[in-house]
Structure 1
Amino acid sequence: MGDGVAKNGAYKYDDGTKYIGDWNRRGLKHGAGLLILVDGTRYDGVFQNGLCSGLGVIVFPDGAKYEGEFMQGWFHGHGVFWRADGMKFEGEFRGGRVWGLGLVTYADGSHGFPRNEGFFQDCRLIRRRRCPDIVQKAQKISMMARAQCY
Structure 2
Amino acid sequence: MVDVVDPGVVKTGAYKYEDGTRYVGEWNAKGQKHGMGHLVLPDGTRYDGALIGGLCSGLGVMAFPDGAKYEGEFMQGWFHGHGVFWRADGMKFEGEFRGGRVWGLGLVTFNDGSNGFPRNEGFFQDCRMVRRKRCPEVVQRAQKVAYMARAQCQQF
TM-score strictly above 0.5: yes
Instruction: Determine which of 18, 30, 34 is the counterpart of 1:30.
Output: 34
List gaps (5 residues or longer) in structure 2: 1-5
CA distance in 2, matches of 1:146, 1:73: 18
Runs in 1 of length 4+ with deviation above 6 angstroms? none
What's the secondary structure of 2:65's corresponding residue?
Answer: coil
Match of 1:70 among 50, 69, 74: 74
- Which letter maps to 2:145? I
Partner of residue 92, structure 2:
88
* Structure-2 residue corresponding to 1:109: 113
The equivalent residue for 2:59 is: 55
Report the TM-score, using the length of structure 2 for normalisation.
0.94
1:141 alignment partner, SS class: helix
Q: TM-score, normalised by structure 1?
A: 0.98
* Identical-residue share of aligned pairs (%): 77
Superposed CA deviations along residues 45-75 of structure 1, whole A, max 9, x for unmatched, are 0000000000000000000000000000000
Considering only aligned residues, what root-mean-square deviation do their CA atoms show, in Å? 1.0
The alpha carbon displacement at 1:38 in A equals 1.1
The aligned counterpart of 1:147 is 151
SS at match of 1:145: helix
Alignment partner, residue 7 of structure 1: 11
Q: Secondary structure at the match of 1:38?
A: coil
CA distance in 2, matches of 1:118, 1:81: 16
Cα distance in structure 2, aligned partners of 1:17 and 1:94: 26
Query: Is 1:41 equivalent to 2:45 in the alignment?
Result: yes
Name the amino acid aligned to 1:134: V
- Other-structure match for 1:19: 23
Contact 1:3/1:25 (<8 A) preserved: no
List gaps (5 residues or longer) in structure 1.
Answer: none
Secondary structure in 2 aligned to 1:63?
coil
Give the drift of 1:126. 0.4
